[in-house]
Amino acid sequence: MVIESDKYTYRVLWSDEDEEFIGLCAEFPSLSWLAPTSEKALKGIRSVVKDCVSDMSKNKEEIPSPLTARKYSGKFMVRVPPEVHRHLAIEAAESGVSLNRIASAKLAH
């Protein structure tokens, strides 16, 4: 399977500590690239990821699939303190909707 590195999830942030922009890739959290501009940080991290994917492919290592290509069921379990559970259940009952609907709406914000 060929994975195109431009389909990964990239982000550029300002780093106060480094006083430069830092390019990051969600699928490769151990990789980063520092640069004086956000454009150069994005270009740098994309290049590093491309090289990493190439090396992993040559070594027959498992390459992460892009987050956007993954299938999600829409289900996951969240543990909350009992008082939060109670508060949400009351809010749902008072609103006339399910607890799931209240939790989903809050997570979406």
Give me the pLDDT at residue 106, please: 93
pLDDT along the chain (109 residues), means of 10: 82 98 97 98 97 96 92 91 95 93 91
Query: How far is it, in rounded angstroms, from Cα 68 to Cα 9?
Result: 8
Provide the domain count of the chain. Answer: 2
Give me the pLDDT at residue 1, please: 56
Give me the pLDDT at residue 83, please: 96
Give me the pLDDT at residue 100, please: 93
Give me the pLDDT at residue 4, please: 81
Here the CATH number for the domain that contains residue 34 is 3.30.160
Per-position DSSP letters for 58-109, written without gaps between them: HTTPPPPPPGGGS---S-------HHHHHHHHHHHHHHTS-HHHHHHHHHH-
Range(s) of the domain holding residue 100? 72-108
Give me the pLDDT at residue 109, please: 81
Query: How far is it, in rounded angstroms, from Cα 99 to Cα 66?
Result: 32
Are 42 and 17 in the same domain? yes
Give me the pLDDT at residue 5, please: 85
Are 77 and 29 in the same domain? no
Give me the pLDDT at residue 2, please: 62
